[in-house]
Amino acid sequence: MRRVIDVMGGMMDRHLTWPLLIGVVLLSSACVATVEDYESLQRDVRKLRVDVNAMKGEGFTGPEGVEGGTFRGTGMVARLEELAAESRMLQGQVEENNYRLSEIGLRLDETEIKVARLSGEPVRPGGTSRGGQAPTPSAVAPPAVPGGPTQGLPPGGTTRSGVPGQPLPPSARGPSSVQPPVASVPPQRPMRGAVPSPEKVYKDALTDYTKGNYDLAIEGFKNYLTYFPKTSLVPNAQYWLAESYYSQRKYPESIREFDKLIKIYPRSTRVPSAMLKEGYAYLELGEKSLGQGVLRELVAKFPRSREARLAQDTLEQSQ
Amino acid sequence: MNGLRRILPLALVVCGGLLAASASAQVDITVTRKIVHRIPIAVVGLRPTRMASRGPDLAAKTQSILVSDLEFSTTFEVLPPAFLPFEPREIRLGEEEKVLPSLNQLQVQAMLAVDLTKQGKELVLEGRVYNVSRGTFLGGKRYFGDAKALRTMVHRLADEVVFWLTGERGVASTRIAFATAERRTTELYLMDYDGHNAVLATGNRSINLSPRFSPDGKLLAYTSYRDGNPDLYLLNLETGKRKKVSAVPGLNISPAWSPGGRLLALSLSKGGGTNLYLMRPTGGGLRRLTNGLGISVSPSFSPNGRQIAFTSDRGGSPQVYMVEIEGTNLRRLTFDGGYNASPRWSPRGDKIAFISDRAGGGFQIYLMNPDGSGVQQITTSGSNEDPAWSPDGRHLVFTSNRSGTKDVYVMHADGSGQKRLTRNALNNFAPDWSP
């Protein structure tokens, strides 16, 4: 980064030498001119120097204006630079505030589980007691795990993907790397003891996703959504579940899961990305009108997002 | 190296006593764990061998390289000769099975019998691996080469031993690319993973930066000022041919290969700001990933090739961000410290290495989970930058100024075993580890 800035600094210097060079040329030509001309030129050179110094002081970095041979608009450019820097600072503050909020959410999740354990209350599938922010479990969690959300978790047992140790349907099992499920547990048995934290289940699934172990990731995120449907990472888990299908080019499944995120968590920061990918997925399936519809909706709902710009590009190309 | 021949079928045997798991994906080693189970291994054989009567003992050199390779792998604990009830170097190849019972009594788990002999002007290196507790032969290999190729031969044998006993590829045969600054030039060099055999890769008397090996190890992407502008080049390491692949006016810097090698991410200063782009390594297919007037550099792909971690000052200070290859879901990963940069995604997928000034007094190397959580500092001495992973995700190469000059160092992924590789009194930096 510092190197980049050094290089850019070098470019800036090169641009700034132009007015000085022009000044020198003008000075040399003044030798054959009148005294008035000479004094006038001196004034011009002084003015140029003042402008150049002003630009240096204002952090002017762009070649605009200088290459055009005029300094009109210099103040405006500097002001724009200033505004851009301020905008970046504000952007940074927003990012940091969002981060602090998400951290608080995570800590609340963990605390509530600890409190439940300390008070001897069974921790039932369905996650923590904090509600209100998420819809009903059945609306969020795909019914992929036998036993459904009413079945208890075995103590401590987790598969490789950090999934609470429930027997999984053959279709949902990953490659041979998934350890066999632990011995069957009587239904309705509450979860006690070494229960994997929602954060661990989520992170293991996310690591499987980044490694490209998509079947395991899908299994992990589905179980996260089933067992911890009221925790703060649910919208993210929903996004990564859809994205895992998308990465596998399983477009119908990815559309279904992106759609859940968009409809159930419309305020999630990942909604614009989900809409864009849902649109892309429809286009991949040859559903041009459906895909364009989703992309247009994205542009209308989030006109200032990066995703809207990408959607706009795609719409223009597919016209 | 010519004449490499396999004389015995590769016999990969999963030994319950030796291995936590087989070569399958069941192995899930947490690379940052402090306590690592190492396999006790005895190295026997290697009676003195000289090319000339007064020449150096090449068998002793072989022993030294081999032990260093096996220890660095973090898989083995090589037993010191004094620990053994016999003189290990006296064991001849063919007689090594006799010592298996005595090694078993000492609870040694593996034995490597090695022999180095002279055949005319060539050296023959042979290694055989045994599971001591079962008394079974796991595999063997024989290598031919001249004295100059000895280090390469030994590195290859070490990697085979790692493979026979763990099912994972070792890194002893890998190489490290790095930049060396001397007066007005900065040239790129390649060296063995242990710092030996450094050779010049560029040699254009210009400034050359950011070397990055392609996933197949055949190409080296880098930025060079050889034609005045910082353009992006690919150097074919087999033919030595160079190709300019990106030369837009301004910056063409910080390349990164996608895991399959089908895409290159890079930073271009185009249309205001310095932004991330994707392109095909053959040139063309340019696609913009980030926008704005800020600076976005140092991309690194996730192992599944779907996401890119990078450094950007879009939030006012340099921080690590993540974006998907479609340009979607851009998010910030680092929030502590005013300067977080140079992210590199572990080939295992579970960690991202990066540098930060959060500890004060220069930069240190840290690891974090791909969602930005679980940050841990792994260097403390001097200022440390430019982390890059070994292909097995067990080690990192990096730059440190702790000795007074910038030099290339390696360490294990938990920060232990830090070792200096470059000692040329110049500034050596920006390393990258070959596949």
Task: Please write the tens of the pLDDT for every residue from B295-339.
Answer: 999 999 999 999 999 999 998 999 999 999 999 999 999 999 999
Quick check: B101 pLDDT over 70? yes
Same domain, A259 and A144: yes
Residues with Cβ within 8 Å of residue A65, at least 6 apart in sequence: A71, A72, A73, A74, A77
pLDDT of residue A49: 54
- Compute the nearest-CA separation of B9 from chain A (Å): 26
Q: Which domain holds residue B124?
A: 39-166
Task: Please write the tens of the pLDDT for every residue from A111-146.
Answer: 777 777 677 655 554 444 333 334 433 333 333 333
pLDDT of residue A165: 39
Number of A to B CB contacts under 8 A, please give it: 117
- Compute the nearest-CA separation of A246 from chain B (Å): 10
| Residues B229, A90: Cα–Cα separation, whole Å | 34
Boundary-marking domain end, from B123, B142, B166: B166
The 10 Å CB-count burial string (b at 16+, else e) for A262-274 is bebbeebbbbbbb
Q: Which residue in chain B is spatially nearest to A86 when comparing CA positions?
A: B316
Q: Which domain CATH number covers B43? A: 3.40.50.10070
Task: Please write the tens of the pLDDT for every residue from B367-415.
Answer: 999 999 999 999 999 999 999 999 999 999 999 999 999 999 999 999 9
The percent of residues in chain B predicted with pLDDT above 70, rounded, is 92
Quick check: B422 pLDDT over 60? yes
Q: Give the pairing of strands B275-279 and B110-119.
A: unpaired
Q: Would B379 be classed as within a structural domain?
A: yes
**CB-based contact, A83 to chain B, within 8 Å:** no
pLDDT of residue B207: 97
- Residue of B274, B315, B370 with shortest CB distance to A88: B315
Quick check: B195 pLDDT over 60? yes
Q: Is the ipTM of this complex over 0.85?
A: no
Same domain, A68 and A144: no
Number of domains in chain A: 2
Boundary-marking domain end, from A246, A268, A290: A268
Same domain, B154 and B296: no
State both tokens at B429.
């930096």
Q: Give the pairing of strands B199-200 and B208-213.
A: unpaired
CB-based contact B19:B167 (threshold 8 Å): yes
Same domain, B227 and B196: yes
Q: Which domain holds residue A196?
A: 137-178+192-268
CB-based contact B433:B176 (threshold 8 Å): yes
Average pLDDT over chain B, rounded to whole? 90
Same domain, B81 and B181: no
Tell whether pTM > 0.90.
no
Q: Which residues of chain A have pLDDT under 50?
A: 1-35, 38, 55-71, 125-192
- Compute the nearest-CA separation of B312 from chain A (Å): 9
pLDDT of residue A318: 76
Quick check: B188 pLDDT over 60? yes
State both tokens at B237.
């390491």
pLDDT of residue B161: 96
Strand, helix or coil for residue B299: strand
Give the best residue of A7, A11, A201, A210 to mutate against chain B (max B CB count within 10 A). Answer: A210
| Average pLDDT of span B114-141 | 94
Task: Please write the tens of the pLDDT for every residue from B239-270.
Answer: 999 999 999 999 999 999 999 999 999 999 98
Do the chains contact at A8 and B314, CB–CB below 8 Å? no
Quick check: B352 pLDDT over 90? yes
Strand, helix or coil for residue A45: helix
Do the chains contact at A206 and B316, CB–CB below 8 Å? no
Q: What residues 35-74 of chain A have any CB closer than 8 A to a CB of chain B? A: 62
Q: Would A42 be classed as within a structural domain?
A: yes
Same domain, B131 and B193: no
Give the best residue of B258, B328, B330, B352 to mutate against chain A (max A CB count within 10 A). Answer: B328
Q: Would A201 be classed as within a structural domain?
A: yes
pLDDT of residue B36: 54
Amino acid B344 reads R
